[in-house]
Structure 1
Amino acid sequence: MTSPEATVPAAQALGPASQSLPKLPESAIGIDVGGTGIKGGIVDLASGELRGERFRIPTPKPATPDAVAEVIGQILQELLARPEAPAAEDLSVGVTFPAIVIDNVVLTASNIDPAWINCDTSQLLSDLPGRTFTLNDADAAGLAEARYGAGNNLAGTMMTVTLGTGVGTALIHDGVLIPNNELGHAQFEGEVKAENKVSAASRERLGMDWPEYGEVLRRYLVYLERIQPVNRFIIGGGISQNPELFMPYVTGLRAEVVIAQLVNNAGISGAALFAAEQARLADSQSS
């Protein structure tokens, strides 16, 4: 006999209104580890919005696992001291890294200290309060956009493309994250990594004006369509705050191309949602 869980649409099966998971808590904490700063916030899981201001500490140099873990602990301590903090007995903490992360183990270090390779974050962060889960930073942003932002309630397949120091990609199908897509590291037009040509930092480094950059981005999205067809591209990262400068040149794609809605807080919101859902999944599987 088919279980009730198997009949739940994928968009709901891991969503805040899930019929197959116990109800999520009202809030969780997300912490986004970046190259220049580590920022965290308390996230309302119904809306994806932050409860109170986010808290940021500069990324230590060198950004070794122990040094970053200490900063994560400081951010968590500050957030838990707030009156709107989640209850200790139901605390989930999501942490993002600019790396491939599988089962809470960091497997790459293209934009972070090499000491992170094969680091088990479950052990590294085991002394922190609550239950901690880690994921790729672009995946967190893509999950947040799919559930709360420009992809909310969209069936089918979408990809969030974050444009900043590098290029991150996150693939979502019917509301479910397919992790560690990392197509910013694919070869593109002679570059070993697409991000060497397509990132916002590369635009400045190569001296591209906005029409030229918009055309490069258009060709990159055409390339992505060939290897991973989607219904919608969501363009995020800091560059998405000024879409009028480049979006008029991103034309002629089969997929719809839209601008992200959550921008700076997407990683925090997605990390918190991911952690809360993973905690509920673990509970349901052990019961």
Structure 2
Amino acid sequence: MVEENGSIRTLSVDIGGSGVKAMVLDITGHPVTERARLDTPQPATPEVVINAIVVLAAAQGEFHRVSVGFPGVVRSGVTETAVNLHPDWIGFDLETALLKHLNKPVRVINDADMQGFGAIAGKGVELVITLGTGFGSALFVDGKLVPNMEMGHHPFRKGETFEQQLGRAELEKIGEKRW
């Protein structure tokens, strides 16, 4: 199960509104494989997104465990919201489903939280903002995550949310300069 040098390999998966990405990382978080990407299947139901993850995982070689970033609130591996995906994700136990498909230990958290863990210094108050198909955020205090912040869905201005004003759809609508 462990590499010759004693390192655990983690399949890191990012589920996004426009793409599903995967790569294998070593124990220190450095890439072992090239990043692979598939367009997020439409409609983006759990079944078709899981199938895309299985395809990506098969092409990544050996790994021992799986970490997944999901674009919504996640509690104990269950997806609670899914604004940029299909409504069937609400209440879906993604962690258990992927465990059954990949036969490896799986952990699922919010995508911005996952990216934040890779970016923070771990001291003081740190806010991570992610811009992709949607608007993500993660807040950390001394390296500890403040869970389920989901700032993107809070009111921002003009009666719209941060996501409505700063997500990819708005960028494409008004252009990069104005955005």
Which TM-score band (shorter chain)?
0.7 to 0.9
- Tell me whether 1:119 sits opposite 2:100 in the alignment: no
SS of the residue 2:155 aligns to: coil
Aligned-partner residue type, residue 131 of structure 1: P
**What is aligned with 2:41?**
60
Q: Show the 5 A alignment for 1:60-99.
A: 60-80=41-61, 85-86=62-63, 91-99=64-72
Asked if the contact 1:66–1:124 (Cα under 8 Å) also holds between the matched residues in 2, the reply is no
Gaps of 5+ in 1: 1-23, 147-151, 214-287
DSSP 3-state at the match of 1:125: helix
- In the alignment, structure 2 segments of 5+ residues that lack a partner are 1-5
1:129 aligns with 2:103: yes
State the aligned residue count. 173
> Equivalent residue of 2:85, what SS?
coil
Quick check: 2:77–2:96 contact (8 Å CA) kept in 1? no
In the TM superposition, residue 123 of structure 1 has moved relative to its aligned partner by 3.0
Residue 56 of structure 1 and its aligned partner are, at CA, apart by 1.5
Normalised to the residue count of structure 2, the TM-score between the two structures is 0.87
CA contact (8 A) 1:191 1:197 kept: no
Greater shift in the superposed pair: 101-110 or 24-33: 24-33
CA contact (8 A) 1:136 1:179 kept: no
Indicate the residue corresponding to 1:167 in structure 2.
135
* TM score, norm. by length of structure 1: 0.56
Q: Looking at secondary structure, tell me which structure has more strand per residue.
A: 2
Name segments (4+ residues, structure 1) moved above 4 Å.
none
**Within 5 A, what are the aligned runs for 1:270-285?**
none
Aligned pairs for 1:71-220 within 5 A: 71-80=52-61, 85-86=62-63, 91-127=64-100, 128-146=102-120, 152=121, 154-207=122-175, 209=177, 213=179
Relative contact order, higher structure (CA 8 A, sep 6+)? 1
RMSD of Structure 2 on Structure 1 (CA)? 2.0
> Identity rate of aligned residues, in percent?
35
